[in-house]
């Protein structure tokens, strides 16, 4: 019997092994070590005797040890207990193959449950551990020199902890020199590595240089730009040419990308995700392939990983929706439910009339375009998640058959179960509470660094909660049901209207409403009055609402197509705190050239000092005009750098499938001719060289291959810049001063009706 | 997420295009008025969408009427203000 010894640290990662799982632990000194845990992944088979026998015939073909147990579990939608067979194996690698073989043999009539949860996640759910959890392991040295065995462990942490410590992590940054754009869209540059405050430019033999850096600094995290789509595949090619493997993992194996890159269609856009280069014992995180890191940093990523029990490297590459569905799966497993394999439910039959009433989103008003002074914005906090929790809106509770006297959802009329608390409510409630507590902590903390950490975690929660709602109505979501989704938006519309009625009863004007936010105004009211109003609305609706802020002024912009019509989400304004709020302006759009963004940010900063309309106009004349003129001079004198002019566009098609010679098509085809492989959904950067040229290929060029000295289309860029300037202009103050000669009042948009 | 029902904004646009021939034959000065009327309908798309009646033309027309009445009220109000202004001046003369 060998010695047992305790070792304390954080669960860094979990990987599948031939038998059980390997657990990477990082201790307080940053030392990483792998331990072995004999975990048996499992799944369930349900069906009558003859059907189970059909399943057994498939199972008998396997040589690995398979363990069977008769158990009783509950079916998710009906809540009935059903007898089933729990099948487990100590070989995670065989596990997925067994499940695959059974899935293929399902004409045998049996049902499979809880069979498509990744092994690492199942391990976390079963043990209660989670990524970056603080644990003490009792370990036993293995006789054969392999990883020490985890004999037992005790958890010193909880995913619901607000303040938790993390081990010291050494981060190695790696990217290609030559700017932020996709390195495959420009000539090959050099590799730049930053670690421990050192910056190294790798001139030659990258593989052995990297090996040397890795062994010297022993980083925990490889933080790359374009790692998944460019760096790793290229380094891998280099390495295999000399018979080596990628040096990044702590375990020396050749690596095959787990998932291939793919283009997919979502919310009316085509997007592209690169393949994932995931390593063992060391995280590879690609800043360009992670929505979560972009939105809420490593702090937010780790927070979501802890909550969802999805290992960090995989979490970084998934959508926040995956986080919430993982949490739902965990909740359901703990509540003894069988996890449905995939969506088998169909939408229930609805008449045309019902469709009209229910298939709508939130209420989106259109404000009258214009400049408003002293307006308050009040927002329902996490409206949809709150409604789902409050009204028990969940796939298994909406439209239930067991409660004939249950209250009905407004408009939609569905009944909601009163006997069973829904999975969604059970998952969301603690998350809503945790987010609320982080919000309070942000307010009460003085330390700006700590405050920023809380803010990032809180933002991660926000994204996570937002997607709960989206997934509720998603056809392929494991726990989705369109009726639950519709009930949520119906309650949302009801709440916005109740709020509108309450404020209007008290003499406030309802200027604008957008799903879960209201903009209201009453002459002479102060911030305190609006705070009081917010409380009244909260009491009246029964769901939390807060004063987002009191605007000194806010400008609602008209539609780009029609200057007389307002649009729901194109506005900017400044709160009494001096903070700007900007939505839908060119400065926020990804295809706006950087020089325009830079000038506009400066201009908005200046305008945020205005306390009212009069001051705004004075600032336009005195402080904004010089900024516009300086930028315009630089532009017209040809002094702009290519990067400042670059326009980012997302490819909607394969480069060869563009039917028209648009600028984007020309640039995509230019890149193709230079040997750059492009997928629909990928982004490209271009510079407009001559927008009106007859030959489409002369209209714009790829930023990365632009030869110097370059030319650019000054009048086109001037037009773009002026479009952005018009968004912040007021009553044509700037426009008339910038080009007084072609000023004709006839072309000025006339307000179509003055609302009072 | 698939949408079975068009958002109301798109319904207004499709009605607008149904009326294209009508618009074409209108005099230019009247075309602008028609465009403004559809602008009124777009302004009230939120209540129209919430109402969700099978015939979208009804809320479209109602929205137009509301905005016209609003304009009439505004003019009445201005006229009254001018008349009062005039009265005051006449009396002081």
- Encode pLDDT of A586-628 as tens digits: 999 989 999 999 999 999 999 999 999 999 999 999 999 999 9
Question: Above 60 in pLDDT, residue A469?
Answer: yes
Closest CA relative to residue B16, chosen from B31, B5, B29: B31
Question: Above 60 in pLDDT, residue A488?
Answer: yes
Contact A495, A387 (CB under 8 A): yes
Rounded to the nearest 10 degrees, the angle between the axes of helix A482-505 and helix A527-541 is 130
**Cross-chain residue pair A564–B39, CB shorter than 8 Å:** yes
Distance from CA of B21 to the nearest CA of A (A): 21
- Residues of A within 8 A of B67 (CB-CB) are 753
pLDDT the model gives residue A561: 84
- Residues of B within 8 A of A366 (CB-CB) are 42-43, 45-46
Name the DSSP class of A599.
Answer: H
Q: How far apart are CA A500 and CA A22, in angstroms?
A: 56
Q: How far apart are CA A111 and CA B29, in angstroms?
A: 69
Rounded to the nearest 10 degrees, the angle between the axes of helix A448-472 and helix A291-308 is 80
Closest CA relative to residue A727, chosen from A641, A548, A599, A618: A599
Q: Could you tell me which residues are beta bridge partners of residue A702?
A: A686
Among A753, A754, A755, the residue to mutate for chain B (most B Cβ within 10 A): A753
**Cross-chain residue pair B50–A497, CB shorter than 8 Å:** yes
Dihedral, A335, A336, A342, A344 alpha carbons, nearest 10: -100
Residue B67 at interface with chain A, using a CB cutoff of 8 Å: yes
pLDDT the model gives residue A756: 30
Among A360, A493, A751, the residue to mutate for chain B (most B Cβ within 10 A): A360
- Residues of B within 8 A of A474 (CB-CB) are 1
Contact A172, A279 (CB under 8 A): no
CA angle in degrees (0–180, nearest 5) for A649-A293-A327: 115
Question: Above 60 in pLDDT, residue B76?
Answer: yes
Query: Any idea which residue has 């968004």 for tokens?
Result: A727
Q: Which pairing describes strands A191-195 and A171-176: parallel, antiparallel, or unpaired?
A: antiparallel
Question: Above 60 in pLDDT, residue A743?
Answer: no
Q: How far apart are CA B71 and CA A752, in angstroms?
A: 10
Distance from CA of A640 to the nearest CA of B (A): 40
Among A349, A353, A410, A565, the residue to mutate for chain B (most B Cβ within 10 A): A565
Contact A550, A558 (CB under 8 A): no
The torsion angles phi and psi of A172, rounded to 5 degrees, stand at: -110, 120
Closest CA relative to residue A597, chosen from A738, A728, A504: A728
Question: Above 60 in pLDDT, residue A52?
Answer: yes
Q: How far apart are CA A536 and CA A499, in angstroms?
A: 9
Question: Above 60 in pLDDT, residue B4?
Answer: no
Closest CA relative to residue A442, chosen from A255, A608, A299: A299
For chain B, what's the residue count? 93
Q: Which residue of B has its CA nearest to A567?
A: B43
At residue B71 the predicted structure's pLDDT band, cuts being 50, 70 and 90, is very high
Minimal Cβ distance to B54: which of A356, A473, A493: A356
Q: Which residue of B has its CA nearest to A369?
A: B43
Q: How far apart are CA A752 and CA A153, in angstroms?
A: 71
- Residues of B within 8 A of A473 (CB-CB) are 1
Q: How far apart are CA A251 and CA A239, in angstroms?
A: 16
pLDDT the model gives residue A203: 83
Contact B8, B49 (CB under 8 A): yes
- Residues of B within 8 A of A752 (CB-CB) are 36, 39
Percentage of chain A beyond pLDDT 90 is: 62
Q: Which pairing describes strands A647-650 and A191-195: parallel, antiparallel, or unpaired?
A: unpaired
Rounded to the nearest 10 degrees, the angle between the axes of helix A383-390 and helix A423-444 is 130
**Cross-chain residue pair A497–B67, CB shorter than 8 Å:** no
**Cross-chain residue pair A493–B50, CB shorter than 8 Å:** yes
CA angle in degrees (0–180, nearest 5) for A673-A675-A679: 95
User: What DSSP line would sit under A317-362, residue for residue?
Assistant: HS-HHHHHHHHHHHHHHHTTBPPBSS----PPP--HHHHHHHS--S
At residue A749 the predicted structure's pLDDT band, cuts being 50, 70 and 90, is very low
In chain A the domains, ranked by start, together with CATH numbers, are: 4-38+131-155 (2.40.50.140), 42-127 (3.30.70.2250), 171-334 (3.30.420), 370-584 (3.90.1600.10)
Distance from CA of B82 to the nearest CA of A (A): 17
Complex prediction ipTM: 0.84
Q: Which residue of B has its CA nearest to A482?
A: B1
Task: Give the N- to C-terminal CA distance of chain A in Å, as an integer.
Answer: 87
For residue A676, the Cα-to-chain-centroid distance in whole angstroms is 28
User: What DSSP line would sit under A519-556, residue for residue?
Assistant: EEE-TT--HHHHHHHHHHHHHHHSS-EEEEEEEEEEEE
Minimal Cβ distance to A360: which of B1, B49, B67: B49
- Residues of B within 8 A of A509 (CB-CB) are none
Q: Which residue of B has its CA nearest to A356?
A: B52
Query: Any idea which residue has 């008349």 for tokens?
Result: B83
Distance from CA of B76 to the nearest CA of A (A): 13
- Residues of B within 8 A of A355 (CB-CB) are 4-5
Question: Above 90 in pLDDT, residue A661?
Answer: no
pLDDT the model gives residue A373: 96
Minimal Cβ distance to A565: which of B43, B46, B53: B43
Rounded to the nearest 10 degrees, the angle between the axes of helix A206-217 and helix A232-241 is 110
At residue A360 the predicted structure's pLDDT band, cuts being 50, 70 and 90, is low
Put simply, the chain B residues between 13 and 52 with a CB less than 8 A from any chain A CB are 36, 39, 42-43, 45-46, 49-50, 52
Omega cis (within 30) before B90: no
- Encode pLDDT of A286-324 as tens digits: 998 888 999 899 999 999 999 999 999 999 998 777 888
- Residues of A within 8 A of B63 (CB-CB) are none
User: Burial of A498 by CB count in 10 Å (0-12 exposed, 13-18 middle, 19+ buried)?
Assistant: middle
CB pairs under 8 A between A and B: 54
Q: Which residues of B24-63 are buried (b: 16+ CB within 10 A; e: fewer)?
A: eeeeeeeeeeeebbbbbbbbbbbbbbbebeeebeebbebb
pLDDT the model gives residue A465: 87
- Encode pLDDT of A534-563 as tens digits: 999 999 999 999 999 999 999 999 998 888
Minimal Cβ distance to B39: which of A267, A355, A562: A562
With a CB cutoff of 8 Å and minimum separation 6, the contacts of A320 are: A291, A292, A304, A460, A463, A464, A466, A467
Minimal Cβ distance to A359: which of B5, B42, B50: B5
User: In the predicted model, what is the mean pLDDT of residues A376-392?
Assistant: 93
Contact A360, A489 (CB under 8 A): yes
How confident is the prediction for chain A on average, in pLDDT?
Answer: 88
Distance from CA of A755 to the nearest CA of B (A): 8
pLDDT the model gives residue B3: 47
- Encode pLDDT of A59-101 as tens digits: 998 888 899 999 999 999 889 999 999 999 989 989 989 999 9
Question: Above 80 in pLDDT, residue A665?
Answer: yes
pLDDT the model gives residue A505: 96
For residue B39, the Cα-to-chain-centroid distance in whole angstroms is 6
Residue B87 at interface with chain A, using a CB cutoff of 8 Å: no
Q: Which pairing describes strands A32-37 and A198-202: parallel, antiparallel, or unpaired?
A: unpaired
Domain ranges of chain B: 8-92
SS3 of B52-90: CCCCCHHHHHHHHHHHHHHHHHHHHHHHHHHHHHHHHHH
User: In the predicted model, what is the mean pLDDT of residues A464-469?
Assistant: 80
Distance from CA of A366 to the nearest CA of B (A): 6
Q: Which residue of B has its CA nearest to A475?
A: B1
Question: Above 50 in pLDDT, residue A143?
Answer: yes
For residue A672, what are the CA distances in angstroms to A273, A655, A675? Answer: 19, 7, 5
- Residues of B within 8 A of A359 (CB-CB) are 3-5
pLDDT the model gives residue A271: 65
Q: How far apart are CA A165 and CA A161, in angstroms?
A: 10
**Cross-chain residue pair A564–B52, CB shorter than 8 Å:** no
**Cross-chain residue pair A355–B43, CB shorter than 8 Å:** no
Task: Give the N- to C-terminal CA distance of chain B in Å, as an integer.
Answer: 71
Q: How far apart are CA A371 and CA A511, in angstroms?
A: 12
Residue B55 at interface with chain A, using a CB cutoff of 8 Å: no
User: Burial of A709 by CB count in 10 Å (0-12 exposed, 13-18 middle, 19+ buried)?
Assistant: exposed
- Encode pLDDT of A94-130 as tens digits: 998 999 999 888 887 899 999 989 999 999 999 999 9
Least confident of A186-190, A194-198, A429-433, B42-46: A186-190
Question: Above 70 in pLDDT, residue A475?
Answer: no
**Cross-chain residue pair B54–A357, CB shorter than 8 Å:** no
Decide: helix, strand or coil at residue B26. coil
pLDDT the model gives residue A752: 35
Q: Which residue of B has its CA nearest to A361?
A: B7
Write out the residues of chain A at the interface with chain B, using a CB-CB cutoff of 8 A: 267, 352-353, 355-357, 359-361, 363-366, 368, 470, 473-475, 493, 497, 513, 562, 564-566, 752-756
């Amino acid at each position: 019997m060998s010695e047992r010894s305790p070792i304390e640290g954080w669960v860094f990662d979990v990987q599948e092994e031939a038998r059980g799982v390997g657990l990477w632990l990082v201790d307080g000194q940053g030392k990483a070590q792998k331990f072995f845990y004999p975990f048996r992944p499992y799944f369930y088979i349900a069906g009558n005797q003859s059907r189970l026998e059909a399943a057994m015939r498939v199972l008998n073909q396997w040589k690995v040890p398979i363990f069977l147990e008769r158990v009783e579990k509950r079916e998710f939608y009906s809540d009935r207990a059903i007898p089933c067979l729990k099948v487990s194996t100590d070989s995670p690698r065989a596990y997925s193959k067994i499940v695959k073989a059974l899935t293929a043999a399902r004409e045998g009539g049996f049902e499979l449950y809880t069979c498509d949860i990744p092994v690492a996640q199942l391990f976390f759910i079963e043990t209660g551990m989670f990524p970056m959890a603080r644990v003490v392991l009792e370990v036993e040295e293995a006789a054969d020199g392999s990883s020490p065995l985890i004999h037992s462990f005790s958890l010193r942490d909880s995913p619901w902890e607000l303040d938790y410590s993390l081990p010291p992590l050494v981060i190695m940054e790696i990217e290609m020199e030559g700017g932020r754009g996709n390195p495959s869209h420009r000539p090959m540059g050099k590799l730049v590595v930053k670690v421990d405050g050192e910056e190294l430019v790798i001139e030659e033999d990258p593989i052995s240089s990297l090996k040397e850096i890795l062994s010297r600094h022993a980083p925990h995290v490889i933080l790359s730009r374009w790692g998944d789509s460019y760096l790793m595949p290229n380094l891998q090619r280099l390495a295999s040419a000399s018979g080596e493997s990628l040096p990044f993992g702590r375990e020396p194996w050749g690596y095959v990308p787990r998932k291939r890159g793919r283009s997919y269609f979502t919310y009316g856009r085509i997007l592209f995700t690169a393949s994932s280069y995931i390593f063992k014992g060391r995280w590879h995180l690609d800043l360009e392939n992670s929505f979560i890191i972009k939105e809420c940093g490593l702090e937010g990523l780790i927070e979501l990983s802890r909550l969802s029990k999805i290992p960090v490297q995989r979490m970084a590459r998934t959508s926040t929706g995956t986080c919430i569905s993982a949490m739902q799966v965990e909740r359901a497993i703990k509540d003894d439910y069988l996890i449905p394999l995939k969506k088998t439910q169909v939408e229930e039959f609805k008449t045309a009339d019902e469709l009209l009433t229910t298939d709508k989103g939130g209420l989106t008003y259109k404000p009258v375009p214009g400049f408003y002074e002293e307006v308050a914005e009040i927002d329902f906090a996490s409206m949809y998640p709150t409604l789902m929790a409050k009204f028990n809106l969940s796939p298994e509770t909406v439209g239930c058959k067991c409660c004939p006297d249950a209250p009905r959802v407004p408009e939609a009329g569905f009944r909601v179960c009163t006997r069973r608390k829904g999975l969604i409510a059970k998952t969301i409630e603690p998350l809503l509470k945790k987010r609320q507590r982080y919000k309070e902590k942000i307010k009460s903390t003085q330390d700006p660094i700590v405050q920023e950490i809380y803010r990032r975690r809180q933002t991660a929660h926000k994204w996570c909660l937002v997607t709960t709602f989206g997934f509720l109505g998603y056809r392929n979501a494991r726990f989705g049901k369109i009726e639950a989704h519709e009930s949520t938006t119906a309650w949302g519309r009801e709440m916005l209207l109740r709020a509108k009625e309450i404020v209007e009863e008290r003499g406030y004007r309802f200027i604008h409403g957008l799903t879960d936010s209201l903009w209201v105004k009453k002459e002479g009211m102060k911030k305190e009055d609006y705070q009081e109003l917010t409380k009244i609305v909260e009491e009246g609706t029964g769901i939390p609402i807060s004063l987002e802020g009191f605007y000194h002024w806010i400008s609602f912009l008209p539609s780009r197509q029609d200057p007389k019509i307002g649009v729901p989400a194109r506005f900017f304004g400044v709160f009494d705190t001096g903070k700007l709020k900007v939505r839908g302006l060119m400065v926020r759009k990804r295809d706006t050239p950087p020089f325009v963004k830079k000038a506009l940010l400066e201009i908005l900063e200046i305008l945020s000092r205005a306390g009212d309309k009069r001051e705004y106009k004075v600032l336009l004349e005195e402080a904004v005009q010089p900024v516009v003129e300086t930028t315009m001079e630089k532009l017209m004198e040809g002094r702009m750098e290519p990067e400042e002019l670059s326009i980012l566009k997302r490819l909607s098609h394969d480069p060869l499938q563009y039917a028209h010679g648009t600028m984007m098509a020309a640039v995509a085809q230019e890149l193709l001719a230079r040997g750059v492989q492009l997928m629909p959904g990928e982004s490209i950067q271009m510079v407009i060289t001559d927008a009106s040229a007859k030959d489409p290929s002369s209209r714009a060029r790829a930023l990365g291959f632009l030869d110097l000295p370059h030319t650019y289309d000054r009048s086109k860029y001037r037009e773009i810049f002026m479009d952005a300037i018009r968004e912040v202009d007021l009553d044509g103050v700037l426009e008339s001063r910038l080009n007084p000669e072609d000023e004709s009042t006839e072309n000025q948009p006339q307000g179509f009706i003055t609302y009072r | 997420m698939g949408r079975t029902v068009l958002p109301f904004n798109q319904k207004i646009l499709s009605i607008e295009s149904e009326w294209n021939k009508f618009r074409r034959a209108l005099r230019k000065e009247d075309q602008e008025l028609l465009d403004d009327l559809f602008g009124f309908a777009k302004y009230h798309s939120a209540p129209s969408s919430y109402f969700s009646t099978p015939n979208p033309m009804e809320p479209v027309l109602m929205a137009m009427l509301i905005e016209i009445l609003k304009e009439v009220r505004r003019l009445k109000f201005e006229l009254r203000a001018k008349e009062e202004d005039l009265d005051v001046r006449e009396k002081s003369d």
